[in-house]
């Protein structure tokens, strides 16, 4: 049935209810705009439903299970008995607590939520399809926050059980005896490590010469070392060809190998959800990667703004939310631009990796005179008490001694990322950091130690 052509209207229409879209809707409503949010699937988007949150629940459970393999050395004998259906139920519970919370925030803020799929029909109008119903909605400003989806791989048709994408890998019904993960980007590494700790025999297949190609090679090397300790097989320069009956054909340096994988996980990247939005009707053209080009205030046209995974930059939830803040301010008439000094990126691998701002290679490429110092956790005390000394903190400073980059691999370093990002945003100098008292014994002491090192007087390592 087609409902008449009469259109509803809001000041702001937000398409997509992920960490970009829901944050933008809340901010615009708080600023006094009438706001409608259209979501075709579930409020919370990729991040809350099938991304950040369920993956971190899985990783936490896997870490706990893995304690059984290491804790006897500390005088604690444990056995791990993994119940995947209970784990899935717990994960679903965590997700619904968070998504219900977001829905409640939207309702309280007065945001109207429409469940349906939006497609532009004119520069300031969308058609919203919900089942067989089509309604129309006009707006002064529209924020596109439709996110991204996994890229498929020829020869690896998803079956939902034996061949899955990241969403399927977060909903397995049992621990597979063997798993092949294709793509050792951050998603492949996080998922592969978790299932290995839960008891699967995991092989990572990566076409590039090393795992985590987006990361500095020293950070990636730390993760690679732990993968080896965990017994995860890693094939690099390896291109997955096809999968048949539980075996994956992989070409490594010109020769073919067959690897057993009761479950095959395809994690070869993501693409923006911009192809079915009817963007031509809105006067928006895309870049070569299918992303929406925007000005620093997030405008793509006078009526359309875009944020999150549909735009350039790292496809990460906190980047989407930060851009939502800018887009909302732009619409509310406040001068605003997305121009962060650094966007922190964390990989919840083992050990965790946090990278913020410039690496030494980035600085050199940009013609910036820079110095760095790496303090190894092996020389720290907290890492010893945790019996996990792998990794380091590396600070990068420019010629004036201002911090321009901070990179860490080690136990729990995700929690160091915000402080390091703050230091870079505030243009802290290495002296500021060295003079800041860091509590003992913590992993964060490595930050101060690196600062002392950069100043030429390291304390707990030799010069
Ligand atoms: P999304 O969260 O993708 O939301 C877009 C929403 O738009 C979706 O709900 C979709 O249904 C809806 N939509 C699309 N088209 C339409 C339409 N035409 N009409 C109506 N609705 C539409 N990031 C991190 O920062 N930290 C992590 O730890 C992390 N872990 C991840 C783990 C995994 C396994 C995956 C897959 C991703 C992870 N990410 C992580 C990335 C993160 O999920 C994304 O960067 C983030 O969700 C992007 O937010 P967004 O608002 O741009 O889009
Ligand atoms: P990817 O990181 O793209 O990894 C997929 C891997 O699969 C690649 O290494 C590729 O070589 C491999 N591969 C592909 N085909 C095959 C095959 N046939 N056989 C074997 N291997 C194959 N997003 C950006 O857009 N820009 C950035 O600069 C950026 N920087 C980031 C930095 C960090 C530290 C983090 C954590 C994230 C960053 N992101 C960036 C976000 C992230 O890369 C994207 O969200 C990405 O899409 C994550 O999905 P993935 O892990 O599946 O993909």
pLDDT tops 50 at residue 1:
no
Tell me the mean pLDDT in the region 166-175.
98
271 burial type by CB count under 10 A (0-12 exposed, 13-18 middle, 19+ buried) = middle
The residue whose CA is least distant from atom 53 of ligand 2 is: 269
Determine the Cα–Cα distance for residues 410 and 393; give it in Å rounded to an integer: 8
First to last CA, the chain: 76
Which residue in 137, 440, 452, 457 is the catalytic one? 440
- State if residue 19 touches ligand 1 by the CB under 6 angstroms criterion: yes
Mean confidence (pLDDT) of the chain: 97
The residue whose CA is least distant from atom 14 of ligand 1 is: 146
The residue whose CA is least distant from atom 44 of ligand 2 is: 315
Architecture of the domain delimited by 345-454: 2-Layer Sandwich (3.30)
Determine the Cα–Cα distance for residues 137 and 43; give it in Å rounded to an integer: 19
Rg (CA), the chain: 24
Please state the atom number of ligand 1 nearest to the C-alpha of residue 348.
28
pLDDT tops 80 at residue 303:
yes
Distance from residue 214's CA to the centre of ligand 2 (Å)? 7
Distance from residue 186's CA to the centre of ligand 2 (Å)? 6
The residue whose CA is least distant from atom 41 of ligand 1 is: 316
Distance from residue 194's CA to the centre of ligand 1 (Å)? 21
Determine the Cα–Cα distance for residues 230 and 63; give it in Å rounded to an integer: 12
Q: What angle do CA 49, 106, 137 make, to 5 degrees?
A: 95
The whole model's pTM is what? Answer: 0.96
- State if residue 188 touches ligand 1 by the CB under 6 angstroms criterion: no
Using CA of residue 152, residue 154, residue 157, residue 161, what is the dihedral sign? negative
Distance from residue 216's CA to the centre of ligand 1 (Å)? 25
- State if residue 345 touches ligand 2 by the CB under 6 angstroms criterion: yes
Q: 3: Cβ–Cβ under 8 A, 6 or more apart, which residues?
A: 133, 134, 135
The residue whose CA is least distant from atom 34 of ligand 2 is: 345
Determine the Cα–Cα distance for residues 405 and 156; give it in Å rounded to an integer: 39
Distance from residue 416's CA to the centre of ligand 1 (Å)? 24
Instruction: Match 């095959």 to its residue by tokens.
Output: 264
The residue whose CA is least distant from atom 11 of ligand 1 is: 41
- The pLDDT tens digits of the residues spanning 107-165 come to 999 999 999 999 999 999 999 999 999 999 999 999 999 999 999 999 999 999 999 99
- State if residue 291 touches ligand 1 by the CB under 6 angstroms criterion: no
Please state the atom number of ligand 2 nearest to the C-alpha of residue 151.
52
Tell me yes or no: is domain 163-268 CATH 3.30.2130.10. Answer: no
Tell me the mean pLDDT in the region 376-404.
98
- Judge whether 440 counts as a catalytic residue: yes
- Contact assessment for residue 71 and residue 78, using Cβ atoms and an 8 Å cutoff: yes
Question: Can you give the pLDDT at residue 4?
Answer: 54
CATH of domain 8-150+271-331: 3.50.50.60
- The pLDDT tens digits of the residues spanning 234-287 come to 999 999 999 999 999 999 988 999 999 999 999 999 999 999 999 999 999 999
- State if residue 117 touches ligand 1 by the CB under 6 angstroms criterion: yes
Question: Can you give the pLDDT at residue 19?
Answer: 98
- The pLDDT tens digits of the residues spanning 333-383 come to 999 999 999 999 999 999 999 999 999 999 999 999 999 999 999 999 999
Percent of the chain at pLDDT exceeding 90: 98
Same fold, 8-150+271-331 and 345-454: no
Q: Domain boundaries in the chain?
A: 8-150+271-331, 163-268, 345-454
- Contact assessment for residue 30 and residue 20, using Cβ atoms and an 8 Å cutoff: no
Distance from residue 207's CA to the centre of ligand 2 (Å)? 11
């Amino acid at each position: 049935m087609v409902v008449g052509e009469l259109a509803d209207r809001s000041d702001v229409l937000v398409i997509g209810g992920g960490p970009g879209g829901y944050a933008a809707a809340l901010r615009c409503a708080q600023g006094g705009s009438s706001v409608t949010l259209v979501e075709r699937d579930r409020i919370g988007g990729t991040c809350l439903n099938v991304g950040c949150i369920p993956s971190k629940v899985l990783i936490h459970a896997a870490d706990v299970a893995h304690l059984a393999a290491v804790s006897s050395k500390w005088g604690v004998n444990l056995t791990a008995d993994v119940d995947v259906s209970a784990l899935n139920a717990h994960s679903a519970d965590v997700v619904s607590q968070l998504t219900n919370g977001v829905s409640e925030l939207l309702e309280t803020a007065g945001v109207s939520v429409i469940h349906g799929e939006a497609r532009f029909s004119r520069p300031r109008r969308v058609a919203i399809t919900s089942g067989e119903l089509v309604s129309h909605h006009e707006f002064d400003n529209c924020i596109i926050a439709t996110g991204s989806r996994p890229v498929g791989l020829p020869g690896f048709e998803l079956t939902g059980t034996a061949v899955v994408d990241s969403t399927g890998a977060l909903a397995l019904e049992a621990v597979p005896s063997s798993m092949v993960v294709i793509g050792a980007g951050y998603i492949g590494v996080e998922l592969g490590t978790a299932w290995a700790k839960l008891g699967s025999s995991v092989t990572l297949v990566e076409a590039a010469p090393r795992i985590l190609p987006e990361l500095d090679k020293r950070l990636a090397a730390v993760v690679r070392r732990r993968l080896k300790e965990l017994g995860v097989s890693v094939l690099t320069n390896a291109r997955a060809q096809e999968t048949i009956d539980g075996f994956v054909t992989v070409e490594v340096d010109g020769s073919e190998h067959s690897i057993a994988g009761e479950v095959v996980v395809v994690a070869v990247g993501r693409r923006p959800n911009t192809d079915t939005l009817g963007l031509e009707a809105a006067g928006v053209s895309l870049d070569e990667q299918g992303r929406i080009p925007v000005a620093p205030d997030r405008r793509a046209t006078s009526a359309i703004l875009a944020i999150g995974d549909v735009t350039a930059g790292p496809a990460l939830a906190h980047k989407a939310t930060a851009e939502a803040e800018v887009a909302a301010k732009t619409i509310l008439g406040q001068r605003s631009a997305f121009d962060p000094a650094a966007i922190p990126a964390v990989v919840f691998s083992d050990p965790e990796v946090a990278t913020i701002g410039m690496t030494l290679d980035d600085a050199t490429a940009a013609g910036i005179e820079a110095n760095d110092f790496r303090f190894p956790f092996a020389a720290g005390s907290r890492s010893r008490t945790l019996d996990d000394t792998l990794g380091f903190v590396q600070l990068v400073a420019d010629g004036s001694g201002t911090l321009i980059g901070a990179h860490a691999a080690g136990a729990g370093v995700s929690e160091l990322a915000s402080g390091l990002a703050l230091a870079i945003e505030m243009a802290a100098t290495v002296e500021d950091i060295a003079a800041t008292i860091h509590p003992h014994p913590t992993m964060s002491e490595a930050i101060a130690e690196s600062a002392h090192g950069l100043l030429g007087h390291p304390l707990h390592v030799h010069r």
